[in-house]
Structure 1
Amino acid sequence: MLNAKKIMMFSSVHVWNDTRIFYKEAMTLADAGFEVDFYAIDNGMEVVKHPGLQVHLLPASTSRLARPLRWRKLYKIAKASDAMYYHIHDPELLLLLPKLRKKKPEAVLTYDMHENFPADIETKTWIPAILRKPLKQWVLRMEKRTMACCDHIIFAEASYSGSYEHITCKKTTVYNYPTYMEAIPKTPSDSPFTLIYVGSITEDRGIFEMLELIRRLYEKHPSEYCLKLLGPMTNSLEIEVQEFIHKHQLGAVVQVYGRVPYPEIWQAYAESDLGLCLLHPIPNYLQSMATKLYEYMAASLPILASDFPDWRAFIEKHQSGTVSSPFDTEKLIHEIEKRAANPHFYAQEGEQGRLTYEKEYHWGIEAQKMLTTIYNPH
């Protein structure tokens, strides 16, 4: 007999302390009285203890070819579990659902869609270009077959739903808003005007545009600006980033922190002046709202973001910053210099963003949506 208060939540790709999965969803479910068995990737960081939440670490792998072995292991664990609920976070784990449905017809199966994966395939650089279109078509067919086994699909963005109207199970949008945080007192400091970026660090998320920005600012205004980068990146990219920093002698003005536990990013925000979100205009980014926009609002930080139509409308509506092409270095520098020269005036952008976050854009709202539609349907 399955345990109606037990959830197996699992990922074959995400690290155990992924912000959305661990700090928001898993903790919310544990706090609601569920027993949560959470399986995810070991990243060497000390596991955070939380009542009702048991973290099971899967060994990291450098090879994508090793993933099927991980899928097989997770399926065996799921098959043996007495949990009523099974909550997956990766499109590849959809492949397990038909067999799991046959084994556990009464279980509740949920797929948590973090990105529109078929659309994202078109820009995956590790996939040879000649294979992207046929792979996308295969994924679409695979999704149609496997999602038929789902009881629920969670969309992290409402824009994803248009691609899945043919799927008949229950669908809910649960936005990736920040957890509710009290307003952060600004840390008084005589330090340079600080730009910050928090999130996965990749080329298409603007790492080299941000480095070029700080390089130009350093040339024009030595010691007046600095850049903080918080988030994971591949070893090969980190080598390129460090080479850029060394070549242009930016060691004193660029701070690279790597992955930082979610509760600790807020102190970095308190010591910063402007949040950057200079993503490239690829399909997945154009169709979704970056989580960091909401985090910057929560931290009362003015925003400088890519000029995507939805982002521009959002930022203009809430008067929380400005937008520019991520490739227009001159305009970006102009916007940064304006804010550095008039910090008290532009602090209003951060204050306006904070007020809107408190009313509309925090995780407490989304947590209740998840609980009432999936985990407490009666």
Structure 2
Amino acid sequence: MSEKRILLASLLKPITDTRLYEKLGISLSKIPGASIHIAGYEAPIPSGAPASVHFHPIFRFQRLSLGRLFAQRDYFRLLQRIRPQLVIVSTHELLLPTLLYQTRYSGVRIVYDIQENYSLNLRAQHNYSRPLKHLLAATVRGIERLSAGSIDHFLLAERSYADEIPFLGGRYTFVENKYKANQQQSFISIPVHLPATDPLRLLYSGTIAEEYGVWEAIELAKQLQTVRPDTKLTIIGYCANSHTLTQLRKICEPLPFVDLIGGGKLVPHQSILQQIQESHIGLLPYRPNASTFRCIPTKLYEYMAHALPILIQENPLWQGIVEGNDAGRSINFSQLNTAALYEDLSTSSFYNEGIPESIYWESEEEELLKAIMSLLAQV
């Protein structure tokens, strides 16, 4: 096979993004004769990357600025310079420039990596006024529909998207955000118990937002302080909403048991994994919302891979995964009986049968390579 150039592109995710680089990029670098190019938001180029992986940190703009429009121009210029035969697009805003590139160079294959149901997210979440969010949702879905006929294949990060998204036409492969094992992961003793004497460390990691329950995480920590005064909460991740971030800093300031890491800036994934290994309970206090109800949070796989006991919002899908694997408890964060909850957690053991193999990336890598190799054979 002659050299095949594959470009993976995301407008908002950094070039070191877990899915973009650590999962898709490194997995695709295993294809013989393939040259992998990753375009994304500016971030330090990672050390130790495979020789066939090349980074293009071309995006550096504020989320709500004209720079976001100019970024599409920069992306189109990159396409013309690299001349990839296959492009994997992870952001709807990059679809139209990719289609334009396809019209100029015949034989180009396009894959749309759907990491979120963007249209549903805009309608169901409360980041914009009602008229604006419906306008934005319609615009996003319009771009996706317009592009769908020229897209060769879709990668779906969630199984629910096959039912929710109308334009797939059977051209899709499930590539879920399961955990990519870290060879430097520390030894885990199974089964797991909460510490009897050391400070009890709670963790809220990843995207910081009201929809994902950041206020509920703080409230739980406050209440646990009454039954276990050495309880501590670490909030680590990025908060895109400036109003939420300002409010969060104000709330955390008088609370010595709450530690905020990141907030206004992106946090390296390795730093989050380090916090997971140092914590005793992982919190997923998602507020019930149509945009997340049928999705499996990536951090759920991360917590389970490190045998971290989990407290997750009641949800039939999540409850089956968590309680079915002795990984924690499914609770209603808005109706807490903290004393009873702590009694249950402190007298229980977790992961009694070990960490389930089904949470790891290897099965997804196999499906990914099968789909991409089939497309590469056509160029």
TM-score of the alignment, normalized to the shorter chain, above 0.5: yes
234, 239, 247: which one aligns with 1:233: 239
Aligned to 1:37: 37
Alignment of 1:107-118 (within 5 A): 107-118=108-119
The Cα of 1:297 is off from its aligned counterpart by: 1.1
CA distance in structure 1 between the aligned counterparts of 2:60 and 2:339, rounded to whole angstroms: 40
The change in CA–CA distance for 1:124 and 1:68 in structure 2 (over 3 A counts) is farther
Deviation at 1:278, TM superposition (A): 0.7
Report deviation, 1:152: 0.9
Distance 1:296 1:109, change over 3 A: same
Q: Greater RCO between the two (CA within 8 Å, min separation 6)? A: 2
- 1:300 aligns to what? 307
> Is contact 1:300–1:351 with CA below 8 Å preserved after alignment?
no
The structure richer in helix per residue is 1
Equivalent residue, structure 1, for 2:284:
277
Shift in CA distance, 366/296, structure 1 to aligned 2, threshold 3 Å: same
1:23 aligns with 2:29: no
Secondary structure of the structure 1 residue equivalent to 2:220: helix
Q: Distance in 1 between matches of 2:75 and 2:53?
A: 18
Structure 2 residue aligned with 1:10: 9
CA separation of 1:294 and 1:100: change in aligned 2, threshold 3 A: same
Q: Normalising by structure 2, what TM-score? A: 0.87
Distance 1:169 1:313 in 2: 28
* CA distances 1:318-337 after superposition (whole Å, capped 9, x unpaired): 23211112322x23563244
Displacement of 1:98 after TM fit? 2.9
What is the match of residue 181 of structure 2? Answer: 180
Residue 133 of structure 1 and its aligned partner are, at CA, apart by 2.8
Residue among 305, 309, 330 paired with 1:323 = 330
Aligned to 1:54: 54
Deviation of the 1:142 alpha carbon: 2.4
Q: Name the SS of the counterpart of 1:24 in structure 2.
A: helix
Aligned match of 2:76: 75
Q: Kindly indicate whether residue 178 of structure 2 is the aligned counterpart of residue 141 of structure 1.
A: no
With over 3 angstroms needed to count, the CA separation of the structure-2 counterparts of 1:337 and 1:70, relative to structure 1, is: farther
Structure 1 residue 14: Cα displacement? 1.1
Asked if 2 retains the 8 angstrom alpha-carbon contact of 1:4 and 1:83, the reply is no
1:307-363 deviations in Å (ceiling 9; x for gaps):
1221122223323211112322x2356324432x32xx32xx2344x431xx21211
Indicate the residue corresponding to 1:194 in structure 2: 201
Cα gap change, 1:157 to 1:322, in 2 (>3 Å): same
Unaligned runs of at least 5 residues, structure 2: 190-194
- Match of residue 257 from structure 1: 261
Q: What SS class does the counterpart of residue 319 from structure 2 fall into? A: helix
What is the SS of the residue equivalent to 2:279?
Answer: coil
Query: Could you say what secondary structure the match of 2:364 adopts?
Result: helix
Which shifted more, 102-111 or 212-221?
A: 212-221
Deviation at 1:111, TM superposition (A): 0.7
CA distance in 2, matches of 1:12, 1:3: 29
Q: Deviations over 1:226-265 (max 9, x none)?
A: 1122211245433322221223xx22x2222224433343
- The Cα offsets for residues 9-52 of structure 1, whole Å up to 9 and x where unpaired, read as 11111122211111111122224343111111114x46434122
8 Å contact from structure 2 (residues 92, 143) kept in 1:
no
Letter in 1 for 2:340: H
The 3 A distance-change label for structure 1 pair 117 and 3 is: farther
CA change 1:200–1:333 in 2 (3 A) is farther
Bigger CA drift: 53-62 or 256-265? 256-265
What residue in structure 2 maps to residue 103 of structure 1? 104
Residue identity opposite 2:159 in structure 1: A
**Distance (Å, rounded) in 1 between the aligned partners of 2:121 and 2:260:** 27
Equivalent residue for 2:317? Answer: 310
Deviation for aligned residue 1:59: 4.0
Distance 1:116 1:296, change over 3 A: same
Distance (Å, rounded) in 1 between the aligned partners of 2:343 and 2:248: 24
Output the CA distance in 1 between the equivalents of 2:339 and 2:86.
50
Is 1:216 aligned with 2:217?
A: no
Distance in 1 (CA, whole Å) between partners of 2:15 and 2:333 is: 31
Contact 1:3/1:83 (8 A) holds in 2: no
CA RMSD of aligned residues (A): 2.5
**Which residue in 2 is equivalent to 1:158?**
159
